[in-house]
Amino acid sequence: MAEGARRADEFLSLLGTDEPAALALLDGVAEVRELVFLGAGLTAVARAEARSLPPAQRAQANTRQLRLGQLRDAHRSDPEGLRSWLRQAGEEIVLLRSLREIADRVVAADQAWAGARAAAEANGTAAASDAATTA
Protein backbone atom coordinates (compact mmCIF):
# COMPACT_ATOMS: atom_id res chain seq x y z
CA MET A 1 0.00 0.00 0.00
CA ALA A 2 2.84 2.39 0.79
CA GLU A 3 4.25 1.77 -2.68
CA GLY A 4 0.81 2.53 -4.17
CA ALA A 5 0.63 5.82 -2.29
CA ARG A 6 4.15 6.73 -3.41
CA ARG A 7 3.29 5.94 -7.01
CA ALA A 8 0.06 7.95 -6.73
CA ASP A 9 2.03 11.00 -5.57
CA GLU A 10 4.56 10.51 -8.35
CA PHE A 11 1.80 10.07 -10.94
CA LEU A 12 0.05 13.26 -9.82
CA SER A 13 3.30 15.23 -9.88
CA LEU A 14 4.00 14.04 -13.41
CA LEU A 15 0.42 14.57 -14.53
CA GLY A 16 0.73 18.24 -13.64
CA THR A 17 4.04 18.76 -15.42
CA ASP A 18 4.74 15.98 -17.93
CA GLU A 19 1.68 14.03 -19.04
CA PRO A 20 3.58 11.62 -21.34
CA ALA A 21 5.82 10.65 -18.41
CA ALA A 22 2.73 10.14 -16.22
CA LEU A 23 1.23 7.81 -18.80
CA ALA A 24 4.56 6.01 -19.11
CA LEU A 25 4.52 5.48 -15.35
CA LEU A 26 1.11 3.80 -15.66
CA ASP A 27 2.33 1.67 -18.54
CA GLY A 28 5.26 0.55 -16.39
CA VAL A 29 2.95 -0.96 -13.78
CA ALA A 30 2.19 -4.46 -14.99
CA GLU A 31 0.36 -6.27 -12.19
CA VAL A 32 -3.33 -5.75 -11.47
CA ARG A 33 -2.59 -5.64 -7.74
CA GLU A 34 -0.10 -2.78 -8.15
CA LEU A 35 -2.55 -0.86 -10.35
CA VAL A 36 -5.25 -1.26 -7.70
CA PHE A 37 -2.93 -0.03 -4.94
CA LEU A 38 -2.03 2.99 -7.08
CA GLY A 39 -5.74 3.60 -7.57
CA ALA A 40 -6.37 3.36 -3.84
CA GLY A 41 -3.79 6.09 -3.32
CA LEU A 42 -5.46 8.27 -5.95
CA THR A 43 -8.88 7.64 -4.41
CA ALA A 44 -7.64 8.72 -0.98
CA VAL A 45 -6.23 11.93 -2.45
CA ALA A 46 -9.43 12.64 -4.40
CA ARG A 47 -11.64 12.13 -1.37
CA ALA A 48 -9.44 14.40 0.76
CA GLU A 49 -9.40 17.09 -1.94
CA ALA A 50 -13.19 16.89 -2.35
CA ARG A 51 -13.79 17.44 1.38
CA SER A 52 -12.46 21.00 1.09
CA LEU A 53 -14.91 22.00 -1.67
CA PRO A 54 -18.18 23.88 -1.22
CA PRO A 55 -21.17 21.54 -0.68
CA ALA A 56 -22.52 21.45 -4.25
CA GLN A 57 -19.11 20.79 -5.76
CA ARG A 58 -18.41 18.19 -3.08
CA ALA A 59 -21.64 16.37 -3.99
CA GLN A 60 -20.69 16.41 -7.67
CA ALA A 61 -17.23 15.08 -6.81
CA ASN A 62 -18.80 12.25 -4.80
CA THR A 63 -20.93 11.31 -7.81
CA ARG A 64 -17.84 11.28 -10.04
CA GLN A 65 -16.06 9.07 -7.47
CA LEU A 66 -18.95 6.59 -7.61
CA ARG A 67 -18.67 6.48 -11.41
CA LEU A 68 -14.91 5.96 -11.17
CA GLY A 69 -15.59 3.07 -8.78
CA GLN A 70 -17.94 1.53 -11.32
CA LEU A 71 -15.28 1.89 -14.01
CA ARG A 72 -12.74 0.21 -11.72
CA ASP A 73 -15.14 -2.63 -10.95
CA ALA A 74 -15.91 -3.15 -14.64
CA HIS A 75 -12.19 -3.65 -15.34
CA ARG A 76 -11.29 -5.53 -12.17
CA SER A 77 -8.92 -7.98 -13.87
CA ASP A 78 -8.01 -6.04 -17.03
CA PRO A 79 -4.74 -4.06 -16.66
CA GLU A 80 -5.48 -1.80 -19.64
CA GLY A 81 -8.96 -1.03 -18.32
CA LEU A 82 -7.48 -0.26 -14.90
CA ARG A 83 -4.98 2.12 -16.53
CA SER A 84 -7.94 3.94 -18.11
CA TRP A 85 -9.50 4.18 -14.65
CA LEU A 86 -6.25 5.54 -13.22
CA ARG A 87 -5.95 8.17 -15.95
CA GLN A 88 -9.48 9.34 -15.24
CA ALA A 89 -8.85 9.29 -11.49
CA GLY A 90 -5.78 11.49 -11.99
CA GLU A 91 -7.76 13.88 -14.19
CA GLU A 92 -10.41 14.04 -11.46
CA ILE A 93 -7.81 15.15 -8.93
CA VAL A 94 -6.53 17.82 -11.31
CA LEU A 95 -10.14 19.02 -11.69
CA LEU A 96 -10.71 19.02 -7.93
CA ARG A 97 -7.58 21.09 -7.39
CA SER A 98 -8.65 23.63 -10.00
CA LEU A 99 -12.10 23.86 -8.39
CA ARG A 100 -10.45 24.42 -5.01
CA GLU A 101 -8.33 27.24 -6.46
CA ILE A 102 -11.43 28.89 -7.91
CA ALA A 103 -13.31 28.54 -4.62
CA ASP A 104 -10.33 30.06 -2.76
CA ARG A 105 -10.30 33.04 -5.14
CA VAL A 106 -14.04 33.58 -4.65
CA VAL A 107 -13.63 33.48 -0.86
CA ALA A 108 -10.71 35.93 -1.05
CA ALA A 109 -12.75 38.31 -3.24
CA ASP A 110 -15.69 38.09 -0.84
CA GLN A 111 -13.40 38.83 2.11
CA ALA A 112 -11.88 41.80 0.29
CA TRP A 113 -15.33 43.15 -0.51
CA ALA A 114 -16.49 42.66 3.10
CA GLY A 115 -13.36 44.41 4.37
CA ALA A 116 -13.89 47.34 2.02
CA ARG A 117 -17.54 47.53 3.05
CA ALA A 118 -16.61 47.49 6.76
CA ALA A 119 -14.04 50.23 6.21
CA ALA A 120 -16.57 52.32 4.33
CA GLU A 121 -19.11 51.88 7.12
CA ALA A 122 -16.50 52.76 9.73
CA ASN A 123 -15.71 56.10 8.10
CA GLY A 124 -19.34 56.87 7.29
CA THR A 125 -19.22 56.75 3.49
CA ALA A 126 -21.40 53.63 3.29
CA ALA A 127 -24.12 55.19 5.43
CA ALA A 128 -24.25 58.24 3.21
CA SER A 129 -24.33 56.04 0.14
CA ASP A 130 -27.18 53.92 1.57
CA ALA A 131 -29.15 57.02 2.56
CA ALA A 132 -28.87 58.43 -0.93
CA THR A 133 -30.27 55.27 -2.49
CA THR A 134 -33.15 54.82 -0.05
CA ALA A 135 -34.50 58.37 -0.10
135 or 62, higher pLDDT: 62
Alpha-helical segments (H) within the chain: 2-17, 19-27, 32-51, 55-74, 79-123, 125-134
**Can you tell me the distance from the alpha carbon of 76 to that of 24, in angstroms, rounded to the nearest whole number?**
21
pTM: 0.77
Tens of pLDDT, residue by residue over 45-100, are: 999 999 999 999 999 999 999 999 999 999 999 999 999 999 999 999 999 999 99
